[in-house]
Chain A
Amino acid sequence: MPSQTRNYKYVVLAVVTVLLTCLMSIAVKQGGKLDPAEGILRDLLAPLQKAALSLTHKINSSWQYWAQIRHFGEENARLKIEIARLKARENAAQEAWQENIRLRKLLNLPPAVQEFELLTARVVARDPSNWYNTLIIDRGLNANVEAGSVVLTNDGVVGRVKKASSRTAEVLLISDQRSAIGAMGQLSRDVGVLRGGDEGGNCRFVYLPRTTKVRPGEILITSGLGGNFPKGLVLGQVLEVCAEDYGLGKFARMEPAVDLDHLEEVFVIIGPRD
């Protein structure tokens, strides 16, 4: 009996392993497509995530407010309440003003982007795991956002859409270790591949020849090779140029032009401008 119990354990483990492996095989066969369960769950969670994120901003504002309040004396209590009311109003106005500034900045796009039809989207969630760098935006297939769509801000490229459900889309950031973009130096015109996954949220510009003219401080742009990204979009700035192992070539470390940790709104390219 004890050996039967022991075998039973491993049979159950084997069955679960086989089932999950089958699930993975089906998912791999489907490629970038989002399976229905994933799409439905993400669509259901999107409003909750949106609400939670807006709560975060409110908590942040309140926290900053209370940090300031501590420095005032108790005799000003009534005035503080009055100030609190005014602050709350001011916060709301400030939030609207800041949003206005951000949206105006977004509209001030480089010429390379102006030939495309753009759509604004809000960031509603981030990948909670440690392995990937992705975010969820509140636009999906219903708004013509599909897998492969390029996501950017006025500062530069954010990434590309990996999967889209009807109302949300998952964006693979350029700092994700799975990301690979055809890139080139704006001045040196040296062409290579920009890979994510470097330390500190930076990227690595690889496959450079030993004689590369890329230098620290140079801006990297998309090369247009590979067809996923239009040519000439800003990616970031070179921090340093290093020799590859065994000295066969060189690579450069690049800091993304976009502050990927503080994104609230982004643009999605949904097609050429008519």
Chain B
Amino acid sequence: MDFSGRRFLLILGIMIGILLVQSTLLYKFRPLGVRPDLILALVGSTALLNGWPQGLFWGAIGGLLEDLITGSLPGSHALAKSTTGFVLGLLEGKVFKENMFLPVGALFMACLAEGVIFFLISGLVGELRWGFVTAVRMVTFPAAVVTAFFAPAVYRLCEHIYEPPRFGQRGGSV
């Protein structure tokens, strides 16, 4: 488990940057009518590469930042993202990191799961009025597709942050 200061600040900065850019410069960028959940892609990639503690931690931090900046119920995105980060982190070491298809598939499934968890949490506290099918059709599924499209780039970025490529040596922390 690596929470070194430089990486911590770098990932925190990337998260704030993503939220800032998506709320201003790219607020009209909505392929399939939704925005890619780049925060979840970052949390998921970190979890897949470094295990559940980082998935849980960055899920909570990224989700809280999203809650604070978007004005959602504090804790709602955080709970959904930390749980998803935790579960993805359990796959660390089980996903062959050089094969890009598996992380992308895992992040697609994670995005669907996070959408469902967020729907349940927000629905319970009365923050969502959509039905389950409407929420999946209008947000969760298209968001998972769009996020999966951007997942390889985010995954490669995380690989670069955590483990610069070294020939003949398989990275990863156990």
Contact = CB atoms under 8 A, between A and B. Distances in A.
Interface in A221-274: 261
A177 B56 contact: no
A114 interface: no
Interface residues of B, number: 47
A163 interface: yes
Interface in B71-97: 71-79, 82-83, 86, 90
B100 interface: no
B27 interface: yes
B157 interface: no
A42, A55, A127, A134 pick with most chain B CB within 10 angstroms: A127
B28 A177 contact: no
B66, B68, B130 pick with most chain A CB within 10 angstroms: B68
Nearest to A170: B71
B11 to A, nearest CB: 17
Contacts of A163: 71
Given A21-B79, A178-B127, A129 B72 contact: yes
B24 A20 contact: no
A168 B127 CA distance: 21
A24 B129 contact: no
A35 B118 CA distance: 21
B53 interface: yes
B121 interface: yes
Nearest to B138: A199
Contact of B83 (A17, A130, A134): A17
Interface string B20-38: 1111110110000011010
Interface residues of A, number: 45
B69 interface: yes
A141 interface: no
B34, B75, B128, B138 pick with most chain A CB within 10 angstroms: B75
A21 B130 contact: no
A132 B90 CA distance: 31
Contacts of B21: 52
B158 interface: no
B19 interface: yes
Contacts of B34: 130
Contacts of B77: 129
Interface in A22-41: 23-24, 26-28, 35, 37-38, 41
Contact of B23 (A23, A55, A125): A125
Interface in A1-31: 9, 12-13, 16-17, 20-21, 23-24, 26-28
Interface string A38-81: 10011001001100110110010000000000000000000000
B139 A261 contact: no
Given A12-B56, A20-B75, A127 B23 contact: yes
Interface of B: 18-25, 27-28, 34-35, 37, 52-53, 56, 60, 66-79, 82-83, 86, 90, 118, 121-122, 125, 127-130, 134, 138-139, 143
Given A20-B79, A38-B74, A127-B23, 16 more contacts: A12-B53, A13-B56, A13-B83, A20-B60, A38-B67, A42-B71, A49-B24, A53-B25, A129-B37, A129-B70, A130-B35, A131-B118, A131-B122, A134-B71, A177-B128, A199-B138
